[in-house]
Structures are given as structure tokens and as C-alpha cells.
Homo-oligomer: A and B are copies of this chain.
Amino acid sequence: MTSIKDVAAEAGVSVATVSRVLNEHPSVSEDARARVLAAVASLRYRPNAVARSLRTDQTHTLGLVISDVLNPYFTELARSVEEEARALGYSVIIGNADERPELQDHHVRTLLDRRIDGLLVSPTDGGSPLMLDAARAGTPMVFVDRWIPGVDVPVVRADGRSAVRDLVAHLHRLGHRRLAIIAGPAATTTGQERVEAFREALEEYGLDLPDQYIGQGDFQADSGRRATERFLDLAEPPQVVFAADNLMALGALDAVRARGLRVPDDIALAAFDDIRWFVHTDPPITAIAQPTGELGRAAVRALVDRIEGRAPRSVTLPARLVVRRSCGEPPTTNETPATSEHPSTNETPATNENPVTNRSQS
């Protein structure tokens, strides 16, 4: 590999001068600069980022540890994170935790070993000592989507509360009274919050959320299937199943289908997280859409602010309800297919406009 010494030799200057040219230091003569650039070009020299990082103690790299790459929500998040980071001059290394705390730890450790400049995490659990230590030790860090309470780290997330209320209003209006939820792991904030929001919304309508209508899931399709089967085995099965993420909704769909039942006629289905495929499932699925792309970008901006010495801000954006047919009513809005937009812009607006239903109370 050609190094800065080779360039210096070729250009007839010292390595210091080469470095100055490369870093756009002002005091370099026009002559020297030209010779260096010529040498760089002719040798096809590229600076060794490893050496540079060692010296400057910065890698211009962000770590992103997400819970599950196969979940389209996180895929989209990862994509927007990379995009914004690139715009700000950073690279991103993605670690996929697969909802497994020990894998999450593995990635956090590897990323810290590589001396990434900052860490974006969507924690799978309540936080390992490793991660908490890193946060306390001053590693620039931002939580995205999920977070860990009691840790002094900015959080960028969506608030689904109002959208969940819209959903319950919608369901109530359609005559559904027995509503069940497939929850995420209790160790995650999103696992808890969505259940709470759901319960609170039900209370507004005088509805109860009995324990047997709370399925325990782990954000994976399989758990959604099992929880749904259990619901269907009840003496009085729920009329609606609300899955706390898109994969569990997929599993629920499997379970319903395996019994020869139909959505929404026999049982209604709704999901947290909207994904493009929901437009084309049988039936199209009513879902709560997060402003995924904006979340990713905001998270990167917060992290980079922190890294570059500015004060990072926590951000909470609203989610919104997208009504389709899986709960029983044909959509009243005419929806443009998600795929009709350009891929790089196909995300749901952050505004909470156009809720299909007005809530009956505040």
C-alpha cells in the first residue's frame, strides 16, 4: 500500500507538507500544493483512515445498534440514519442485536473497541452494565425508538399515544368491544408504553383490558402467532387483535389463517408500525405509522451535536393512524399506494393531520 512517505518522496517534499495539503492547512505554497496533488494522483494515494484515526482520536464513524434488521421498520430507520450521517460526513456501522441482549452487548463492545465517535442505540433490554458504563463514561450516545429510563442520554422517538387513541376510537366506532393486544417485551420501553397507551385509550371508552387479552410477545412473528392462537382458544375470544409491531402482526395473520378464519370478518387486526407491504396484504392492514425517516435523521443530528460539542436535544415526534380494511371498514380516505412515491422519500409525514376519526373526548 502506498503511504504518505511515498507521496512525499514523489513530490520532493516532507510528509508534513503532504499532510498539510491533504488537510487544507493554509500555509502551503502553491507550488508545493500542486506537486503534492500531482503525486497523490499519479500514485493513486488514499490516506490510511486507521492511522489517521489513531492520531486524531476520531473515526468519523457512528455505531448503530438496532434490535432486528429483518424488521422493515428498523431497516428503514437504518437507512435514514446512514443517509443523514453521510450528509454530515460520518460513516455508520450497523450492529444487529436480533432482540438478543448478549448480541447487543457484543456489538456495543466491538463498536467501542473500534473507537466509534458515537453510538445510536435502540436497546433490546433494560440496559447491560456495559452500555450503562459507556454512557456514564461519556461516550456520546443517543437512544432511538426505545430507551432506558434513568440514564442521562437524549432520546429520539415517536409518541404513539394519540395515534393509539385514534385507533381505539376507530375500533369502538366499528362496534368492537373486546380488544386484545400482543405486547412487546416488558424490558423495552416500546413494549410497555404501547400497552399502557392502549389501556388508557380503552378506559376512555369504559372498556377493560383483562389479563387474558394481553399476549406476551417478543416483537418476532412467531410470538405473534402463538399469542393469537391463545386468544382464539379463549372461551370468549377478542374481536380485535392489536399487535405492538409489524412482525407480530404478520404472525397473527398466520395464526388466523391457519384456523381458516378471516380478517376482518371473524377477527379484526391492527398493528403498530406501518410498512409498505401492509397495503397489499389480505386484507390491507390498519396500522400506526411512525415518521421513521425523520426519527433516524433527528437521532443522527442529536448524536453529531453531542459529538461536536453542541447540546443535543431529545426529540419526540407524533405517530399517526393509517386506516385500512383489516378492522372492518373500508377506508374513507383514498390512499395512494406507498410505492407510488420515490423510494428515497417514501415515508409518512410527521404531522398528525387527517385522522380518520375524531375522538369523542379529549
Contact = CB atoms under 8 A, between A and B. Distances in A.
A250 B113 CA distance: 41
A220 interface: yes
A291 B281 CA distance: 24
A69 B343 CA distance: 11
A277 B254 contact: no
B70 A96 contact: no
A203 to B, nearest CB: 33
Contacts of A281: 277, 280-282
A337 B93 CA distance: 33
Contact of A258 (B51, B91, B337): B337
Task: Select the residue from A44, A133, A222, A343 with max chain B CB neighbours within 10 A.
Answer: A343
Contacts of A59: 50
Task: Select the residue from A109, A257, A340 with max chain B CB neighbours within 10 A.
Answer: A340
Interface in A116-137: 133
A221 B93 contact: no
A215 B188 CA distance: 46
B112 A46 contact: yes
A115 B254 contact: no
A47 interface: yes
Copies in the complex: 2
15 contacts: A46-B112, A50-B59, A50-B115, A70-B72, A72-B72, A86-B106, A98-B343, A98-B344, A220-B343, A221-B343, A250-B276, A250-B339, A254-B339, A257-B337, A258-B337
Interface string A230-259: 000000000000000001001101100110
Contact of A277 (B44, B113, B115, B250): B250
Contacts of A54: 48, 50-51, 54
A46 B109 contact: yes
A141 interface: no
A49 interface: yes
A152 to B, nearest CB: 20
A221 to B, nearest CB: 4
Interface residues of A, number: 58
A84 interface: no
Interface stretch (A15-23, A75-83, A190-198, A301-309): A75-83
Interface in A193-220: 220
A284 B280 CA distance: 10
Contacts of A86: 106
A79 B96 contact: yes
Task: Please name the 7 residue pairs, one residue from A and one from B, whose CB atoms are nearest each other, closest first.
Answer: A282-B282, A221-B339, A254-B337, A277-B277, A49-B113, A280-B281, A49-B114
Nearest to A53: B50
A50 B282 CA distance: 51
Interface string A123-164: 000000000010000000000000000000000000000000
